[in-house]
Chain A
Amino acid sequence: MTNLDKLEANSVHILREAYREFKSLVMLWSIGKDSTVLLWLARKAFFGHVPFPLMHIDTHYKIPEMIEYRDRVALEWGLDLIVGENRKALDERHTFPDGQATRVECCRSLKSEALKHTLSGEWPRRRMDHKVGRLEAEERREAFTGVIVGARADEEGSRSKERYFSARDRQNEWDVGDQPPELWRQYKTDFAPGTHVRIHPLLDWTELNIWEYIERERIPIIPLYFDRGDGRRYRSLGCYPCTSPVVSEAKSVTDIVEELRAGKFRDIAERSGREQDKEDGGLETLRRGGYM
């Protein structure tokens, strides 16, 4: 088995374990490369099917192409897509930079808060209606307690200490010191009622592994990652006010793999284009509060 085969097998095993153990399971899909690889791995695990819904949190600051791509792939692959948002914060302009919020506050309300209340079913959400081919308001909103997330350990310090199956208490808090042991392919899959669990099948993947896998599997990926003529491309996709493209002439998946292996990004961290990480406490503070 090659290294990619092993990563794939381990992720598939975790996805199957999650599907076996959790009744109300959902997968977060940010449209980016990691969660799209995750989606692909779900199709691997379940032999072409995706037997749980996908959830996308729309901050309305996403690059418009992302939304188009999302809906197109959802329809093509027959995905059960659910979309949520923080309507109130948007209406009250509790946002950055055009509202009165800092970057971290904006992230917290448009992403963390929106996610929390969309998962619980408290806030309105829309679901893809495959008969009419568009998102429709969802009437009966179930609460999801198992959430599959595409976090990787190499992204940043606090993520390197995650578990494949990670419990959050009712307040969505993460107790880093008291995490369950994981050994011999046995994970913590028993939880007190009401516990929210995050499942991280991509924990062992690096950014390079992700691109190598996209290349190997020919996974259709959103073209924002490629240089389309202006010598710039996105390395990480987020909201446009806080994510800037990098200078790069990588025009294809193969170019990107090459760039990460030996080229200019060899030793530069992926999230270096994300501004919210640089504020005090950065990602660890956000993550303790439920950021994914």
Chain B
Amino acid sequence: MESTENTEQISIVMAGHVDHGKSTVIGRLLSDIGALPQGKLEQVKEMCRRNAKPFEYAFLLDALKDEQSQGITIDAARCFFRTERRRYIMIDAPGHIEFLKNMITGAARAEAALLVIDAREGIRENTKRHGYMLSMLGLRQLAVLVNKMDLADYGRNVFGRITEEYTEFLGRLGIEPVSFIPVSGMEGVNISEKSKLTPWYDGPTVLQQIEAFQHKPPSQVIPFRLPVQDVYKFTEQGDDRRIVAGTIETGTVQVGDRVVFQPSGKSSAIRSVEYFNGAAKSRAAAGEAAGFTLDTQVYIKPGEWMVRQDDPAMKTGTRLRTNLFWMGRDPMIRDKTYKLKLGALRSPVKLVEVLSVLDATELATVSGKQQLDRHDVAEVILETPKPVAFDVLGEIEQTSRLVVVDNYEISGAGIILAAAEAADSVLQEHIRAREIAWKNSAIPLAERNAAYGHGAKFVVFTSEIPELGEAVARALERRLFALNFKAYFLGIDNVAMGLDADLRVGNDYRDDHIRRLGELARIFTDSGQIFITSLANVDEYDINALKLLNTPHEILTVQVGESRFAGFTPDVTIEADGDLGRGVEKACALLKQKQVIQDYSI
């Protein structure tokens, strides 16, 4: 009897130019080996007869009405079948350029590929583009089917020419195809049985080839990498576990192992491996959707990576040299904020430089482009506002991959090549340009300070309990106002809903809101005021950004309550006991100490 636990399953994608016969070959294969559900073939034939359409094997896969009426595959279909040896998922990708992202979705799920070339048409644009996409997706097992051999009289020369030409192309991508097979999907030649029509061919049939593809279990020797997808604490039914959850990308980890979170640098050790309804485990490995409890209470956010302390660490940085494929309808341009997804991390990201653009069909470099158009492949430099952790191509494939979201859509897919040189950040460049262009007021700040009876300052309250930080900040505003001082409180929501109303609200745009707030601080402090704000959960990068933006004026930070995430030292810390009066006293003491206000004024 077949046992579940040993039943191997492999996913194979069909790729190639439009109309070269991908769906036909799969349909034929399924039908030849008797893998279609009973009655399916008759049902499709009957449907064709009713609609006075010639029968196509492709209709077995192209299930949508639009697909059948246009005779084209629109979206990759998955079909399931099995042989004596193992189970298969065949993914029938579309060949039309319009549906390239559907092809990518299909190919990304596969472990091996069959690339189909029409013997009469030969190598076409998407024959090459698909080859490039497969190599970019990391697929290395590839067999080429030279189809419609019936239209080329089963000629050996046609087959030889295509084999030679395409082998050369793949070679430049670093792919060595496992075989070239002359076939006819329509006539069923060399699909499941070797045909007499190609006596000169002595390689495998399509069926033999797919049976020969190797199904590789995820490697377990490489360093351990877990993208932290979430941190759970379900208190229901007295559950007090704090579980770090995520799907392990590579490597293994065991109870007792020391682990480090990147990029925060916090560390702890694995206390337990959590698993519902199964035997207790002490170890977890690549591919598992795992959960862990830790020895110590460390506060980490989803998006960090958990790595073993003894393994090589990931790189961290804000600049990533990346090989990026763009599939968005709008081009990717500079000075626009996109969203980066890297492991479980989501971060704002900007395109800072286009190094070169590659023509994926000719593998030639196009120079001088400053943006990425749809279907461009380019080497670019991306920049995040805060350091992120990553691996690079050539070291660990799985953790060097990223996608870029533009206007809600996954529009770019990339592979990180290296950490790029730390040049001036986009922000630093901006500040420099801004300050050079700044028109100073006719009234020097010192004169304003003297007239107002106090200095100008940007005061940032931060707290993990947003209401609390804001309450103290507002109380300070009220107190300073009572003293006749020019003080003004502005919350980040006012920026988000006002100045930033053209941006979307939400965490993705938080960095943009912070930037606007910093620009406002620059203006307010320049006008001699004490400008107060309150932010939840800021970290050292936010504070640095605000500091930079407020240049040449100064910033003071007031922490309310404990801070679990922040990596900076606030100028003063206020207890989170809700005693506003005492909070305000402490803040005023700081202002005095920094000579913003005079001692006698209070």
Q: Which positions in A face B, CB cutoff 8 Å?
A: 1-6, 8-10, 12-13, 16-17, 19-20, 43-49, 51, 78, 153-154, 156-158, 160-161, 163, 176-177, 179-188, 190-192, 204, 206, 212, 215-217, 257-258, 261-262, 267-269, 272, 281, 284
Which residues of B96-119 have CB atoms within 8 Å of chain A's CB atoms? Answer: 98-99, 101-102, 104-105, 108-109
Q: Does B560 contact A (CB under 8 A)?
A: no
Most chain-B Cβ atoms within 10 A of its Cβ — which of A157, A181, A185, A272? A181
Give the docked Cα–Cα distance between A156 and B232 (Å): 36
Check B5–A2 contact: CB distance below 8 A. yes
Does the CB pair A188–B38 fall under 8 Å?
no
Q: Are A180 and B101 in contact (CB under 8 A)?
A: yes
A157 partner, pick from B64, B87, B409, beta carbons under 8 A: B64
With a cutoff of 8 Å between Cβ atoms, the chain A residues found around residue B105 in the complex are 163, 179-183
Q: How far is the CA of A180 from the CA of B234 in the complex (A)?
A: 32
Docked-complex contact B289 and A12, CB < 8 angstroms: yes
B7 within 8 A of A: yes
A sample of 11 inter-chain contacts (CB < 8 A) reads A5-B287, A16-B289, A44-B289, A47-B276, A157-B64, A179-B75, A182-B410, A183-B104, A190-B339, A191-B408, A268-B39
A119–B419 alpha-carbon span in the complex (Å): 46
B577 contacts partner chain A, Cβ-Cβ < 8 Å: no
Q: Which of B398-445 contact A (CB under 8 A)?
A: 398, 401, 403, 405, 408-410, 413
- A163 CA to B137 CA in the complex, in Å? 18
Chain A residue nearest to B10 in the complex (CB): A3
Q: Are A190 and B277 within 8 A (Cβ)?
A: no
| Contact status A47-B234, CB under 8 Å | yes
The docked-state distance in angstroms from the alpha carbon of A2 to that of B75 is: 29
Residues of B within 8 A of A (CB): 1-2, 4-9, 34-40, 63-66, 74-80, 87, 89, 98-99, 101-102, 104-105, 108-109, 137, 217-218, 229-230, 232, 234, 236-237, 239, 241, 243, 245-247, 274-277, 285, 287-289, 291, 302, 327, 339, 341, 398, 401, 403, 405, 408-410, 413, 508
Decide if B64 touches A284 in the complex (CB within 8 Å). yes
Q: For the complex, what is the distance from the CA of A154 to the CA of B285, rounded to whole Å?
A: 29
* Partner among A9, A16, A212, A269 whose Cβ is within 8 Å of the Cβ of B287: A9
Closest to A216 in B: B4
A44–B37 CB distance below 8 A: no
Considering the chains assembled together, what is the distance between the CA atoms of A17 and B228 in angstroms?
Answer: 11
Select A3's contact among B7, B77, B218, beta carbons within 8 Å: B7
- Complex formed: what's the CA distance from A212 to B2 in Å? 12
Do A20 and B302 touch across chains, with their CB atoms under 8 A apart?
A: yes
B residues near A49, Cβ cutoff 8 Å: 234, 236, 239
5 residue pairs, one from A and one from B, having the closest CB atoms: A157-B63, A183-B108, A12-B289, A181-B101, A161-B75
A3 engages B405 (CB within 8 Å): no
Contact among A17, A177, A187, A215 for B229, CB-based, below 8 A:
A17
* A contact residues around B236 at 8 Å (CB): 49, 78
The smallest beta-carbon distance between A225 and chain B, in angstroms, is 18
Task: Assess whether A177 is in contact with B74, with CB atoms less than 8 Å apart.
Answer: yes
Chain B residues near A9 (CB-CB < 8 A): 247, 287-289
- Which residues from B are CB-within-8-Å of A191? 408
* CB contact under 8 A between A46 and B232, given known A3-B87, A183-B403: yes
Contact of B64 (CB < 8 Å), options: A2, A17, A158, A186 = A158
**Residues in A neighbouring B76, C-beta threshold 8 A:** 161
On chain A, the residues within 8 Å of B289 by CB distance are 8-10, 12-13, 16, 44-45
A20 partner, pick from B230, B277, B285, B405, beta carbons under 8 A: B230
With A2-B7, A188-B410 already in contact, 7 other A-B pairs whose C-beta atoms are closer than 8 Å: A2-B6, A157-B64, A157-B77, A179-B101, A181-B104, A204-B78, A216-B4
- Please tell me if the beta carbons of B78 and A160 are within 8 angstroms of each other in the complex: yes
Q: Given the complex, which residues of A lie within 8 Å of B230, measured CB to CB?
A: 16, 19-20
Q: Is the CB–CB distance between B341 and A1 below 8 Å?
A: no
| Residues A180 and B245 in contact in the complex (CB < 8 Å), given A160-B63, A161-B75 | no
Chain A positions within 8 Å of B277 at CB level: 43-44, 217
B residues less than 8 Å from A284 (CB atoms): 63-65
Q: How far is the CB of A116 from chain B (nearest CB, A)?
A: 22
Cβ contact within 8 Å between A47 and B243: yes
CA distance A20 to B345 in the complex (A): 12
Task: Give the nearest-CB partner of A20 in chain B.
Answer: B230
Q: How far is the CB of B14 from chain A (nearest CB, A)?
A: 14
Contacts of B413 in A (CB 8 A): 181, 183-184
- Residues from chain A with a CB closer than 8 A to the CB of B99 are 177
| Residues of chain B lying within 8 A (CB to CB) of residue A154 | 78-80
| B403 with A186: CB separation less than 8 A | yes
Partner pick for B401 among A78, A184, A190, CB 8 A cutoff? A184
Chain B nearest CB from A275 CB (Å) reads 15
| Complex: A158 Cα to B62 Cα, angstroms | 9
Q: Hey, which chain A residues are within 8 Å of B341, CB to CB? A: 186
- Chain B residues with Cβ below 8 Å from A161 are 63-64, 74-77
Q: Are A192 and B408 in contact (CB under 8 A)?
A: yes
Q: Across the interface, which residues of A come within 8 angstroms of B64, CB to CB? A: 157-158, 161, 176, 284
Contact yes or no, B78 A153, CB < 8 A: yes
- Is the CB–CB distance between A177 and B75 below 8 Å? yes
Find out whether the CB atom of A262 lies under 8 angstroms from the CB atom of B243.
no
Inter-chain contacts of B35 with A (CB < 8 A)? 267
Contact of B327 among A2, A153, A181 (CB under 8 A): A181
Residues in B whose Cβ lies below 8 Å from that of A204? 78, 89
Residues of A within 8 Å of B291, CB to CB, are: 47
B375 to chain A, nearest CB (A): 13
Q: How far does the alpha carbon of A157 sit from the alpha carbon of B230 in the complex, in Å?
A: 35
A20 touches B229 (CB 8 A): yes
The answer to whether residues A13 and B4 also contact, given A177-B66, A181-B410, A284-B63 and a CB cut-off of 8 A, is no
Whether A2 and B4, one on each chain, are in contact in the complex, defined by CB atoms closer than 8 angstroms, is: yes
CB-CB under 8 A for A13 and B229, given A183-B137, A184-B413, A269-B37: yes
